[in-house]
């Protein structure tokens, strides 16, 4: 597979009056990867993807996708790209197989009944083929939207929050599906505000906040760079104060009746455990905790995302 980027975005900006929805982002997406754009509500994710889909005109900057300049010539690549908008709404009065056949026609794909059934099966909607879309649940509509994005057998997929509104089982099913698509060589650009989703699914994470890039690396790289050190959790901490632990030079955080001890990056875990153990501080047991993408995110953005919102 060639390493020439399939998407090249350079210094992209979109301003709405004083609102700088997207404020100078640049990135490249390699063919065959899952690229996540991660950020809280209002970060500028949708504005960015919709500019990439030719739906909004950038204030400035350039977007090259599949060799085409999107602002000039999106029409030439439309048939090679599949899109799931964040605010996707299905056509109310079409049943899932009809909607899929419709989009198949738009993409010039001759679909047999079996093709349609396979696609419906892939998004786990086989039991809902007799209902018009307005009778589907929110999650089912979203999955139908994903199927429509896939109808044209696109090389590149733009999925704006594909799993929002899906239950845990459906989310995992969708992750499997996306991984399968990546294995087939398709490139997936998705936006999400689920940290676990970005961590599990992506080859690359682009952290976005207030229209700007905060960080960009593979998930493990982000954790290594920004996750901070390992921490040790002292279970059922029995002392009144944490002064003794702090005196040893550790960062300390009380979590109910436990105490979390943050080690500096690169510090020896064994050494820290030995010192805590021999300090005479009373606790029942201890466990070590590795930093996650969430820790990295907290360190980068100064808060974590709960239900899409940034929580300090």
Partner 1 sequence: MSRIIADLKAFATQYMRNPVGAFFALVFPIILVLIFGSVFSQSASPEVPLPVQDLDGSAISGQFLEILNQTGTVEVSMISPTADIDDHIRDNSLSAALVIPAGFGATALSNTSVNVTLYGDQTVSSYGIVVGTVGAAVEILDRNLPNRTVPDQLVGMVTADIVGEDFSFIDFFLPGMIAFTIMINGLFILSALSAEYKSRGYFKLLATTPLGKSEWVLSKFLWFLIIMLISIFLMFAISIGAFGVKVTITPLALALILAGILLFTSMGLLIGVWAKDVESASTIGNAIGFPMMFLSGIFFQLEMMPEALQVIAYALPLTYLSEGMRATMIYGNDTTALIDLAVVLILAVFFFIVASKLMSWKEK
Ligand X SMILES: Nc1ncnc2c1ncn2[C@@H]1O[C@H](COP(=O)(O)OP(=O)(O)OP(=O)(O)O)[C@@H](O)[C@H]1O
Interface region with ligand X, contact rule CB under 6 A, candidates 15-23, 111-119, 264-272, 297-305: 15-23
Contact with partner 1 (CB under 8 A) among 28, 64, 98, 179? 98
In angstroms, give the least distance from the CB of 204 to partner 1: 23
List the one residue out of 78, 50, 32, 88 whose CA is nearest residue 202: 32
User: Is the distance from CB of 174 to CB of 162 less than 8 angstroms?
Assistant: yes
Residue 99 or 222 with smaller CB distance to partner 1: 99
Q: Does 242 bind Mg ion (CB under 5 A)?
A: no
Q: What three-state secondary structure class fits 72?
A: helix
DSSP per-residue letters across 22-48: EEEEEEEE-TT-EEEEE--TTSSHHHH
- Copy the structure tokens of residue 268: 């020896």
Q: Does 53 bind partner 1 (CB under 8 A)?
A: yes
Contact with ligand X (CB under 6 A) among 32, 39, 145, 291? 39
Interface region with ligand X, contact rule CB under 6 A, candidates 13-21, 99-107, 114-122, 250-258: 13-21
User: Is the distance from CB of 297 to CB of 223 less than 8 angstroms?
Assistant: no
List the one residue out of 226, 230, 225, 273 whose CA is nearest residue 248: 273
Interacting positions 86-115 with ligand X (CB under 6 A)? 86
In angstroms, give the least distance from the CB of 102 to partner 1: 4
Residue 53 or 295 with smaller CB distance to partner 1: 53
Question: Residue 228 forms beta bridges with which residues?
Answer: none
Residue 97 or 219 with smaller CB distance to partner 1: 97
Residue 23: φ, ψ to 5° = -130, 65
User: Is the distance from CB of 214 to CB of 297 less than 8 angstroms?
Assistant: no
Question: What character string, x for contact with partner 1 (CB under 8 A) and - otherwise, covers 142-181?
Answer: ------x---x-----------------------------
Contact with partner 1 (CB under 8 A) among 107, 128, 164, 308? 107
Distance CA 293, CA 306 (A): 14
Interface region with Mg ion, contact rule CB under 5 A, candidates 51-59, 82-90, 123-131, 277-285: 82-90
In angstroms, give the least distance from the CB of 208 to Mg ion: 10
In angstroms, give the least distance from the CB of 239 to ligand X: 42
Interface region with partner 1, contact rule CB under 8 A, candidates 93-101, 112-120, 185-193, 283-291: 93-101
Question: What character string, x for contact with Mg ion (CB under 5 A) and - otherwise, covers 36-75?
Answer: ---------xx-----------------------------
In angstroms, give the least distance from the CB of 111 to partner 1: 11
Q: Count CA atoms within 13 Å of residue 218 on its CB side.
A: 5
List the one residue out of 219, 212, 220, 295 whose CA is nearest residue 45: 212
Q: Does 93 bind partner 1 (CB under 8 A)?
A: yes
Distance CA 158, CA 71 (A): 16
Distance CA 47, CA 8 (A): 16
List the one residue out of 266, 202, 254 whose CA is nearest residue 228: 266
User: Is the distance from CB of 295 to CB of 196 less than 8 angstroms?
Assistant: no
Residues that bind partner 1 (CB under 8 A): 50, 53-57, 78-79, 81, 83, 85, 87-89, 91-94, 98-99, 101-108, 132, 148, 152
């Amino acid at each position: 597979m060639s390493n020439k980027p399939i998407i090249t975005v350079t210094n992209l900006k979109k301003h709405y009056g004083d609102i700088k929805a997207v404020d100078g982002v640049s990135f490249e997406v390699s063919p065959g990867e899952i690229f996540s754009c991660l950020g809280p509500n209002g970060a500028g994710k949708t504005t960015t993807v919709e500019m990439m889909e030719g739906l909004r005109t950038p204030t400035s900057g350039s977007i090259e996708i599949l060799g085409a300049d999107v602002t000039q010539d999106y029409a030439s690549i439309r048939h090679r790209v599949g899109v799931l908008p964040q605010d996707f709404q299905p056509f109310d009065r079409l049943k899932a197989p009809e909607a899929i056949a419709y989009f198949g026609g738009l993409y010039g794909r001759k679909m047999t009944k079996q093709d349609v059934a396979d696609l419906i099966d892939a998004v786990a909607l086989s039991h809902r083929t007799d209902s018009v879309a307005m009778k589907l649940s929110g999650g089912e509509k979203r999955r139908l939207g994903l199927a429509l994005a896939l109808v044209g057998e696109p090389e590149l997929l733009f999925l704006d929050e594909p799993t929002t509104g899906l239950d845990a089982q459906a989310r995992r099913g969708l992750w499997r599906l996306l991984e399968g698509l990546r294995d087939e060589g398709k490139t997936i650009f998705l936006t999400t505000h689920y940290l676990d989703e970005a961590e599990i699914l992506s080859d690359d994470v682009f952290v976005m906040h207030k229209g700007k890039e905060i960080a960009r690396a593979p998930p493990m790289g982000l954790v290594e760079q920004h996750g901070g050190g390992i921490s040790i959790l002292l279970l059922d901490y029995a002392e009144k104060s944490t002064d003794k632990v702090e005196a040893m030079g550790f960062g300390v955080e009380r979590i109910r009746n436990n105490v979390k001890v943050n080690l500096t990056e690169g510090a020896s875990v064994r050494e820290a455990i030995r010192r805590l153990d021999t300090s005479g501080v009373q606790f029942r047991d201890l466990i070590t905790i590795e930093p996650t993408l969430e820790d990295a995110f907290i360190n980068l953005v100064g808060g974590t995302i709960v239900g899409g919102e940034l929580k300090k």
